[in-house]
Structure 1
Amino acid sequence: MSGIAGIIHFDGKPVEPGLVEKMTTAMAHRGPDGIHHWVKGSIGLGQCMLRTTPESLEETQPLTNEDASLVLVMDGRVDNWEELRGELLGRGAVLRDRSDAELVLRAYQIWERECLPHIDGDFALVIWDARRQEAFCARDRMGNRPFNYHWDGKTLAFASELPAILALPWVKQEPNEGMLAEMLAWDCYSRDETLWNGIMRLIAAHRMVAGHQGPRLEQYWQPNLWATLPFRKDEEYIEHYRELLFECVRRSSRSHRPVAIEVSGGLDSSAVFCVAEHLRRSNRLLTQGINGYTFGFTEEDGRASELPYARAVGEHLGVRIHEIPPSRMPLSWFTERARSGRQFPGFPNTSMYAGLWQQTVAHGSRVTLNGQGGDQWLEGSRAYYAEALAQVHLHRLYDYLKTDATAFDARQAVNWLIRQGFFPLLPVGLQEGLRRLIRRVRGSGTSNACYWLSPRMEEVIRLRRERILPPHHRRVRSVGQRTLLETLNDAFGAQVAEDLECLGAHCGSEMRYPLHDPKLVHYAFSLPERMRLRGDRTKYIHVQALKNVLPEMILERKSKAEFSIVFREHLDRMQAILTETIPHERNAWVDRDGMARLFRAYRDNPQAGSPLWILWGLYGCHVTFR
């Protein structure tokens, strides 16, 4: 990943010499191909370059137009470069080179603030517009590139990573109590804050215009919930999905070096690799070649090992899949990462990728593709009951009941009909009232209490819930879209994605996600729920579309890898830290008895999700603010 940084004084104060350089030095790992700056009066911009496409070899940033009235810094690429180039030339634009940065600068020159609908891809960018005396900032639709910023009333500072902003003398390093409470409670809501007061994140699919009056933010993209598809038969949905998937993999493969692809052996990453290999054999791939990589977990690692499945993919294609041992980072690694990065140090199940990505770079790759997005957009839910009831498709309703009764049992099928069919169609107010009644009858009104938190932090998280999640419900075309909207706006998912991006940048690898492409996401919002889930077969459309592409062993797979072992290797030895050291040093955060209770809950069931994640979150916050 490349990186961007900048300082814009709107009061006319000159940028202090060496200050922008200090920002780019704080994230120099993002610029193995050079770091450059543009400073003029009160404006200072910097860019750290990692070249990952043939066109990027012609790219120089910061990039200005002919009279320097526009200056661009960008971390990203344009996936519709062919179409955008043709569109710009048709409007009389003069392109000085083939770089994506040139395309973006000219797009802004023609369409100004409305340029983003013309640009597909992953990007975080800033264009200083001297004519308007304002900065135009934007982040890609899915938030695959990071963008942090700080506004103090007269100065905008921005950067790809937090240390670059925290390096500025006027930025105070004050903990953000609200975000800290979210992390400690493991109850994430905010998508635009960081753990530091005053340092914000630009939300995915948002643009920001900053001028003398301060930043003004606006969402520029969201899926059209009312778009309809001209398909009547399942085969038509499946064929269109197949075409989209092949095109998304093709576009994401553009590189001047071989592309690495993670092959876990699951349906998603295996699909990306197999589709890429089919494209390569038909000379449609936009790279010199591809290499597959998988984690070499051993049998002793239990359900974490997926080697039989990954090997089946290699045998099916007649290619080698590199087996790389997962990185088992010591606690000291997380402590140092928190100290140097001034942010939450990540999780053991993300840090295990470090060695794999370093190996892909050693083999000459700068781009890594994976299957991220498949679980989010293709898993499906039993909302097909509500869809059938709402559309009065009684024959489909009967088919769903019959299929589920066969795969599970009749009682379970009827239960789903009530809970996933009738209940979601009730008025929202009635749904909320019934939920409250059920909780009261079951005596679970306090089941969400964060008993390990101090009274102060419990109060903070209560207020966060009320402030950040106002009671509103966006109107949807189908019940299944509600789950997809929650996924699209998931705060925790956004944080994990940014952590992975940062780790990849440190390793020198750019991460790309064909199954997370906005075109596929938009298609997912238009799909009937029955195309995602049928009986016990999740990702139905995905499986049907790839019947002649994936090996049978993968097509029939319904299990998933489970990586709690990489957490347990640490947590099993951390009882004293978690139940004595942290309660002693962080008594304003946590309750000692509550922490002991939480650790017992983890010890009694080490694979249970919540205690494991909560304990690691507490430790991560502890070392971040040490």
Structure 2
Amino acid sequence: EIKALLAHPEIPARPDDEGLADYLFHSSRPVDRQDITCFTGISAVVPAHLVVVTPERLMARRYWDFDRGRTLRLSSFGEYAEAFRERFAEAVRRRTRAARPVAVSVSGGLDSSSIFCQAETLRRAGRAAAPGVIGVSYLGAEGTAADEQRFVREIEQAYGVSIGRIPMEPLLGVVRGVEDPVRAIEAPFVDSMWGVTREVHVRAREAGARVLLSGHWGDQMLFSAAYLVDLLRRLDFGQIQRHTRTYQRFFGVDGMRELRRRLVVDIARHYVPRAVAPLLKSLRRRIFGPERPRPWFSDSFRRRALGLANRPVWFGDGFHSVHARSLYLPARSKYHVHCMEWNNKIAALRGLDAAFPFLDRDLIAFLMAVPGEIQNRDGVPRALLREAMGGILPEPLRARTWKADFTAAANDGIGRDLGQIAARLSQGSLAARLGYLDERRLAAALPGLAAELEGPNSLATWDLTDLFALEVWLEVFLGGQRALAARPPTPLPESIV
């Protein structure tokens, strides 16, 4: 941990603006440069690298990577499903090797439910070392878009188990106890549903678990529409049409709009020469402006944060398909490495190891090697997982065509805490005093952000949690535990009180 280094009297805690920008402007930042931390003079060891330190020099080199050019072609969809089933079972088995029961955060969604059912199946077959599998589920209010209770009940009935329930509503918000995760993560990041996450960890630990499995990275590894670019390269317009027509059953109008946007990006990444990409990205920003302006940051910090915004996403050549590249990116990009780290660190606060079966390297290597249209046969998202889980996952879950939406819940939680967040960011905040925020522009923007919390997306929630996380991080590592009562808070606009 970085805190161990900062304990040394000759190593001061000084912010690294490049590292902070990676968290606060991640969509406009390079996906590599994973060694940069939020602290000046302190570098991270990049995953799959080793570092050699001698009196003369410091050297880092990669010792492992995925085989980007490997392909796997089988004779039928059934054979692909069987191969996936074997690798997924092994991914779960590896993460259930424990002397105590293992816990699974099971929402009722396809990914986490598959993990729970696979773990319980392995346990009953004597193939899992853990003596028990504990299900912990956080539930949205009945009748809302986050309500998945009926799917949790399907699992309980199929396996004769009881899954612990955690009602989300009383736990929404981020302010309570926020210093603990920020201190653990050592970066300006706050989970927008931190209260719920904390309670899942508490329940898992109280049940005797030391390992917590979750379905994180299922979205990234099990569904990417980038394979449509591979079909386009083969001029397979018929299959493209069939797949996109089926998508509409699963994603609706808004989801299809986002998929089309991603497809345009994937096509550009593949066909636009790398030397031309910075110019095109610069022109797009000048014509359309930034995706999210964030005027509350100071001009100097924004200029530095966006200084590399035109740099193309690049992880080298050698990928046998656009599909393979699209899976490699979340396994290697700096943003996703950050996410892996914060999941591990906040789980460790409760004595838990966070484990992610969908990040199993053999499973990822398999998915990279097979054709993308197999993974999503006939345009059905996660078709390979659905087929492989036959006889393991209850049929109503295998046939799900919608995902739970926690947007309203996350927005509601931030809305409840908005007064405290705004007070923390008011006049005299460390973020403003150190030149990261423009107090006047922030005060002008807060009413608009508050109004956006009533909208259909979580953009304002993410902006507010980023701002709050920056201030808390500065306080924890640079300013001590400041008592809010020590200075009168600036009166808040009526629209956000």
TM-score interval, normalised by the smaller of the two chains: 0.7 to 0.9
Mapped to 2, the partners of 1:425 and 1:163 lie a distance apart of 41
**CA deviation vs aligned residue, 1:272-307 (integer Å, no higher than 9, x gap):** 11111111222212121212111144338x434432
The answer to whether the 8 Å contact 1:186/1:614 transfers is no
Which of 203-212 and 351-360 deviates more? 351-360
The answer to whether the 8 Å contact 1:579/1:599 transfers is no
Are positions 1:485 and 2:328 aligned together? yes
How far residue 369 of structure 1 moved from its aligned partner, in angstroms, is 1.6
1:604 to 437, 451, 466: 451
CA spacing shift, 1:583–1:362, aligned 2, 3 Å: closer
1:566 is matched with which residue?
413
Report the 3-state secondary structure (helix = DSSP H, G, I; strand = E; otherwise coil) of the residue aligned with 2:307. helix
How far residue 422 of structure 1 moved from its aligned partner, in angstroms, is 6.8
How far residue 518 of structure 1 moved from its aligned partner, in angstroms, is 0.6
Report the 3-state secondary structure (helix = DSSP H, G, I; strand = E; otherwise coil) of the residue aligned with 2:288. coil
2:145 to 270, 287, 303: 303
CA spacing shift, 1:594–1:556, aligned 2, 3 Å: farther
1:210 is matched with which residue?
53
Q: How does 1:33-432 map to 2 (within 5 A)?
A: 161-187=1-27, 188-189=29-30, 190-299=33-142, 302-326=144-168, 327-328=171-172, 331-335=175-179, 337-338=181-182, 343-344=187-188, 346-381=190-225, 383-391=226-234, 394=236, 397-405=237-245, 408=248, 419=264, 426-428=271-273, 432=277
Are positions 1:503 and 2:350 aligned together? no
Which structure's residues are more often strand, by fraction?
Answer: 1
**CA RMSD across the alignment:** 3.4
Give percent identity, aligned residues only. Answer: 24
The answer to whether the 8 Å contact 1:306/1:561 transfers is no
The answer to whether the 8 Å contact 1:454/1:589 transfers is yes
The alignment of Structure 1 onto Structure 2 pairs a total of residues equal to: 458
Report the 3-state secondary structure (helix = DSSP H, G, I; strand = E; otherwise coil) of the residue aligned with 1:216. strand
2:473 is matched with which residue?
624
- Structure scoring higher RCO (CA < 8 A, sep ≥ 6) equals 2
Scaled by the length of structure 1, the TM-score of the pair is 0.65
Task: Specify the structure having the higher radius of gyration (Cα).
Answer: 1
How far residue 522 of structure 1 moved from its aligned partner, in angstroms, is 1.0
1:142 is matched with which residue?
none
Mapped to 2, the partners of 1:456 and 1:379 lie a distance apart of 39
How far residue 617 of structure 1 moved from its aligned partner, in angstroms, is 1.2
How far residue 252 of structure 1 moved from its aligned partner, in angstroms, is 1.5
Scaled by the length of structure 2, the TM-score of the pair is 0.81
1:461 is matched with which residue?
305
State the AA in 1 paired with 2:301. Answer: M
State the AA in 2 paired with 1:428. Answer: P
Mapped to 1, the partners of 2:397 and 2:239 lie a distance apart of 26
2:365 is matched with which residue?
522
Report the 3-state secondary structure (helix = DSSP H, G, I; strand = E; otherwise coil) of the residue aligned with 2:145. helix
**CA deviation vs aligned residue, 1:508-530 (integer Å, no higher than 9, x gap):** 11122222111111112112111
Mapped to 2, the partners of 1:609 and 1:431 lie a distance apart of 33
The answer to whether the 8 Å contact 1:242/1:546 transfers is yes
How far residue 429 of structure 1 moved from its aligned partner, in angstroms, is 5.1
Which of 563-572 and 305-314 deviates more? 563-572
Which of 487-496 and 283-292 deviates more? 487-496
Mapped to 1, the partners of 2:338 and 2:262 lie a distance apart of 35
Are positions 1:595 and 2:438 aligned together? no
CA spacing shift, 1:170–1:204, aligned 2, 3 Å: same
Mapped to 1, the partners of 2:284 and 2:183 lie a distance apart of 42
1:103 is matched with which residue?
none
How far residue 320 of structure 1 moved from its aligned partner, in angstroms, is 0.7
Mapped to 1, the partners of 2:403 and 2:184 lie a distance apart of 38
Mapped to 1, the partners of 2:199 and 2:2 lie a distance apart of 24
How far residue 339 of structure 1 moved from its aligned partner, in angstroms, is 5.8
The answer to whether the 8 Å contact 2:20/2:38 transfers is yes
State the AA in 2 paired with 1:314. Answer: E
Which structure's residues are more often helix, by fraction?
Answer: 2
1:548 to 391, 401, 404: 391
CA spacing shift, 1:561–1:462, aligned 2, 3 Å: closer
CA spacing shift, 1:341–1:550, aligned 2, 3 Å: closer
CA spacing shift, 1:614–1:296, aligned 2, 3 Å: same
Report the 3-state secondary structure (helix = DSSP H, G, I; strand = E; otherwise coil) of the residue aligned with 1:238. helix
The answer to whether the 8 Å contact 2:104/2:116 transfers is yes
CA spacing shift, 1:465–1:447, aligned 2, 3 Å: closer
State the AA in 2 paired with 1:453. Answer: F
Report the 3-state secondary structure (helix = DSSP H, G, I; strand = E; otherwise coil) of the residue aligned with 2:60. strand
